[in-house]
Structure 1
Amino acid sequence: MLKRLDRVLSYEMRVSEFLGTLILIGIPYGIIGLIWSLTHTSHLRNMHGIDVVISFLGSIVCWPVLTFANVCMT
């Protein structure tokens, strides 16, 4: 078991492989965040200007936390 873990952790990645992995993880995360943010826009109604943009982008990035908070508040 420890040999397998050591083999996995000792694997060296190039920068391009690392960036590719981040992109493959980030695309689904961003799509889910965008869908969640588009369906939960009630908090944006009273905002204007740059506040709407910042709040919308923040909800895309923080959608897992906001989902948990939404469940706990209702």
Structure 2
Amino acid sequence: MSLAKPVMRGLLGKRLRFHLPIAFALSFVAAIGFKYGVTEPRKQAYADFYKQYDAVKEFTAMKEAGVFESVRPSGE
């Protein structure tokens, strides 16, 4: 008793018809998951930070701490 020969003709096309929609669906789900799991919370965190951020106050604190070499603290 011998084994039947495998059908090789059209094998790639048959497998692509099965796997290609699955690959597109999974990549779409991954993109949506990344958008709502990573980018949206990051954008919200930036928005929350800049709602209460005072650039002048931050600059003054760094100036007083001596971070900048070209700016003298106001006490001198």
The structure where helix makes up a greater share of residues is 1
User: Greater RCO between the two (CA within 8 Å, min separation 6)?
Assistant: 1
Q: Does TM-score exceed 0.5, indicating one fold?
A: no
TM-score, normalising length from structure 1? Answer: 0.35
TM-score, normalising length from structure 2? Answer: 0.34
